[in-house]
Structure 1
Amino acid sequence: MVSQFGHEALISIISQLVFMAVAFYALQALNFEKLIRANRVFQARLLYIVLTIALGTILSNFFLDYLLWSKQLQFLLQFVSFL
C-alpha cells in the first residue's frame, strides 16, 4: 500500500517534468518579440517560465486524471457484473 503511494508520487513528478518540457518546446514556436515591450528582457523570460509551468501543469493534470480514471474503470465493470 505504501509502495503504491511512492509509485504514484514518482509518476506525478516525472509527468510534471515531461509535460513542462513539452510545453517549453511548444512555446518556442510562438514569436513573443512582437508582444513584449522593449528593454523588458527579464520580464519576458519570467513570463515564458510562468507560461511553461502553467501549461505543463495543466497537461500533466489531464494526463494523471485520465490515468486515474482508466484505473477506476475496473470498479465500474465489477459493479455492473454485480447487478
Structure 2
Amino acid sequence: MQIYGVEAIIRVISHFVFINLTFWSIQSLNYEKWFKKAPIGQIRAFLLILSIVLGYTVSYAMWDIFSLFSNFVFSMKNG
C-alpha cells in the first residue's frame, strides 16, 4: 500500500513519539544489575536500539489497529 502526504507525515511523527515514549519508559527500569561491567556507551546504545525497536513496533501496531477499525467502519457503512 502506498502512503502519501499527510498520512506519511503523521506516521513518521507517530513513530518518533512512540520511540521517545519507550525510551523514557525504559529509563525507569533498574538495568544496572543486568549489565555487570559493560561500558556506559554500550548500555546507552543498547537501550536506544531497544527503544527504537519497541517504539516502532507499538506505533505500527497502533496504525494497524486504526486501519482495521476504519476498514470495519467503512464496511459497515457501505455493506
Q: Which interval holds the TM-score relative to the shorter structure? A: 0.7 to 0.9
**Aligned length in residues:** 76
TM-score when scaled to structure 2? 0.84
> Shift of residue 29 of structure 1?
1.4
Query: CA-atom RMSD, angstroms?
Result: 1.5
- Greater alpha carbon shift after TM alignment, 57-66 vs 68-77: 68-77
The answer to whether the aligner puts 1:38 opposite 2:45 as a matched pair is no
> Shift of residue 50 of structure 1?
0.7
Q: What is the match of residue 7 of structure 1?
A: 6
Superposed structure 1 runs of 4+ greater than 6 Å apart? none
In terms of Rg, which structure is larger? 1
- Greater alpha carbon shift after TM alignment, 30-39 vs 55-64: 30-39
Gaps of 5+ in 1: none
Q: Which amino acid aligns with 1:73?
A: F
Gaps of 5+ in 2: none
Between the aligned partners of 2:74 and 2:23, the Cα distance in structure 1 is 37
> Shift of residue 39 of structure 1?
4.5
> Shift of residue 75 of structure 1?
3.3
Between the aligned partners of 1:67 and 1:37, the Cα distance in structure 2 is 41
TM-score when scaled to structure 1? 0.81
